[in-house]
Each structure stands twice: as C-alpha cells, then as structure tokens.
Amino acid sequence: MRRSSRLDLIPPYMFAELERKVREKRAAGVDVISLGIGDPDTPTYAPIVAAMREAVADPSTHQYPSNRGRQEFREAVAAFYARRFGVELDPETEVMPAIGAKECIFNLNLAFLDAGDVALASDPGYPVYTGGPLLAGGEPVLLPLQPERGFAPDLEAVSSDARERARLMYLNYPNNPTGAIVPDGLFEQVVAFAGQNEILAVHDNAYSETTFDGYVAPSFLQTRGAKEVGVEVFSLSKGYNMTGWRCAAIVGNAEAIAHYWHLKSNIDSGNFEAVQLAGAAALAPEVDDYKREMNAVYQRRRDLVCEALAQAGVEVTPPKGTIYIWAPIPAGFDSSAAYCEHVLEQAAVVISPGGAYGASGEGYFRISLTTPDERLLEAVERIRQL
C-alpha cells in the first residue's frame, strides 16, 4: 500500500508506540507501572458526570453539533474567564469549542501556515507544536526553553529569517514537560514580539488549574494587548479529569478564531453537544472544591516522588504546576530514549524520554503523577534499585 510522503515527515506518536510495548509486556504477565502519559487516574468530578447524564437524556443534544458551539458552552467559558482570570470575552466571537487542545493546535497549523511558513515551537514542548506544522507543509523552528531563564525562550535569539517567515508561535505555561511556571515578564515580551513580527501567539493553557503551594497560574489573555495578537487554547482535560471527553475551547482574537472555524467546519462536525453542556457545568464555581482536592493529591504525590528521587541522588525542582516531574537522566546513558528503554526493560516502569519533546529535552526524563501513591512509590523504588 502506498501512503503519502507526508507521513514520512513525522515519527509514530510516542505514546502510541509506548502503549503497544506496554500491551505486549502485560500480555506476557509483566507488572508494568506506567508513569508515561499524563492521563488523570481518578474519575471526572461528580457534578460534571451528573450534568452529562442530564445532557445525554436531552434530545436537543443528539444531532450534528454546530461547529461554533452551544450558546451555553460559549457563555460558560466567557463567565469562567471573567471570574477566574479577569478576562472579558465576547461569547459570540471570542470563544469556540474544540475537540481537545490537540485538535485545535493541529488545525491552527492548517489554518495559518502555507508552504515555507514557520511556526515557532517551545522546545521541549507538546509534540503537536512540531508535528502539526510539518503535516501542514510548514516548518517548525524550535524555541529552546532555557533552564537558567526559568524555562523562558530567548526571543531575541530568534533569527531574522525565522521572524520573517513565522506565522505562529506556541507557548505553554504551566509547562509540559518541564513543570515550569511562566517567568515574570515573558507574556509581555511575547505580545510585543508577536505584534512586531505579525505572528499569531498561541498559548496552550492545558494546566492553569493544576497548581501547587498556593501558586495561581495566569491566562496569557490577562496580558495587555494579548487579544490583539493571540489566542489561548483552554483544555478541560487535565484540570477536570476529562481527557476522554475531548473538551476544550479556543479563546481570544476574534479574527483568528474565525479563520480556525472556516477551516474546522470543513474538517469535523464539532463537539457532541452533551459534552459541551457538561463542559459548561465543569466551569461553574461549585467545581472549584473538586479541583482543590485534586491538586492536594498531586501535590502530595509530587512531594513523595521528589523526596524518593532525592534519596536516589536525583536532584529535581518540585514543580509549582502540571502533573509532571522533570528530572535529569543518570550518567552513563547515551540518550534519554536509551535510559527510558532500560527502565522499561529492567524495572517494568514506563517513563517518558525528554528527547521526545524536542532537542532541548534530551538528557531528561518525565514522570507523570497520574498514578496512585503506592504504585508511584513502587515505581520510583524499582528505578532506584537499577
């Protein structure tokens, strides 16, 4: 069978590959602990499930959804942004549902890139920031996140060629995979940079609701001028334990959202409207307590893992947000992939190789905290004993 050459541009999706290996091992009777993918292990919060039950029983949700989204969803997102971030959004033009942040980010590439155009992509970063531009015929140019700058990219270092060709820029704080929070002043710099270079800044806000030690993450749209140059993709996946529901929203610049809609309405038929109603329920103030409890669980797990790693001689900075620990691989391994392969083969523990998130992730590995405490500790102990 002949496949398109487009597929040669991208490697198989890392987690799809890992899933296959884990399935094989489990089928052979091996007790594999997966600290790989960031997929919350506890159920979606009860009021969201209850809202879904009701919405599913309502026949008005059963037909093709409108791609622009249900009024209730758009208004709930706008109300949430006003309450949580102090950001005013017009629910008619500045909010649209997305079938998860992954769909949205991928389709933004198709909507904004022509051949030869550039997308500036945080490195390390969510793999779609680089795979998406390649599949769209564009070119990802990496923006290394520098630990000594608090994992901010050095925008001054972007070449004049990349500035001229860039149409998109992907940023994400709290950050996957490093766990970094947004460094002071970075969003302001991004607004100026995007404005000067006519780039659409895309802030991937997947983790603002998952923070610790009293830290409250901002929205990019809180930054003065952000709406003129950018959009934010707000995902309900992680903060609301809704990864399987495929529920997110793109918010911000109305013109950019209209272009996204133009493209998307030719590709998919929108989010199941019952999911949109459940998503609207998720954003109500009553759900805040559930998020707080969940964050207390992740904070406890974070501390357990950081302590266990420290005892094993691995120094890590406890992150103030996200569901990830980002740690250096031990000496003696050629690459993060080689180390993670070794851990999987010898300890039956899945961890993610930093190199899979971009060149700047090489030399690190990522642990996801989405596993019960005892299993997490057992996994770290197995790694320590190697």
**Does 204 participate in binding ligand PLP (rule CB under 6 A)?**
yes
The C-alpha atoms of residue 136 and residue 265 are separated, in whole angstroms, by 17
Specify the stretch interacting with ligand PLP by CB under 6 A; choose among 97-105, 155-163, 185-193, 217-225: 97-105
Q: Report the residue number, 141 or 206, with the smaller CB distance to ligand PLP.
A: 206
Of the residues 237, 295, 370, 371, which one makes contact with ligand PLP according to CB under 6 A: 237
The C-alpha atoms of residue 359 and residue 134 are separated, in whole angstroms, by 16
Interaction mask 139-178, ligand PLP, x per CB under 6 A? ---------------------------------x---x--
Smallest distance, ligand PLP to C-beta of residue 334, A? 26
**Does 232 participate in binding ligand PLP (rule CB under 6 A)?**
no
Smallest distance, ligand PLP to C-beta of residue 326, A? 13
The C-alpha atoms of residue 159 and residue 288 are separated, in whole angstroms, by 43
Residues 277-296 that bind ligand PLP (CB under 6 A): none
Give the three-class secondary structure for 254.
helix
Q: Report the residue number, 70 or 366, with the smaller CB distance to ligand PLP.
A: 366
Smallest distance, ligand PLP to C-beta of residue 311, A? 28
- DSSP secondary-structure letter at 124? S
The C-alpha atoms of residue 98 and residue 236 are separated, in whole angstroms, by 10
Give the three-class secondary structure for 118.
strand
Could you count the other beta carbons within 10 Å of the beta carbon of residue 344?
Answer: 20
**Does 100 participate in binding ligand PLP (rule CB under 6 A)?**
yes
Q: Which residues pair with 278 in a beta bridge?
A: none
Q: What would the two tokens of residue 221 be?
A: 């749209």
Total number of residues binding ligand PLP (CB under 6 A)?
13
- What residues have CB less than 8 Å from 300, skipping those under 6 apart? 373
The C-alpha atoms of residue 156 and residue 146 are separated, in whole angstroms, by 13
Q: Which residue is nearest to ligand PLP (CB)?
A: 100
Q: Report the residue number, 108 or 248, with the smaller CB distance to ligand PLP.
A: 248
Of the residues 106, 112, 126, 290, which one makes contact with ligand PLP according to CB under 6 A: 126
The pair phi, psi for residue 233, each rounded to 5°, is: -105, 115
Smallest distance, ligand PLP to C-beta of residue 248, A? 4
Which of 16, 46, 8 lies closest to 290 in space, CA to CA? 46
Which of 323, 298, 307, 303 lies closest to 384 in space, CA to CA? 307
CB 133 within 8 A of CB 184: no
**Does 210 participate in binding ligand PLP (rule CB under 6 A)?**
no
Residues 37-76 that bind ligand PLP (CB under 6 A): 38
**Does 248 participate in binding ligand PLP (rule CB under 6 A)?**
yes
Query: Using CB under 6 A as the criterion, which residues of the chain lie in contact with ligand PLP when the complex forms?
Result: 38, 100-102, 126, 172, 176, 204, 206, 235, 237, 243, 248
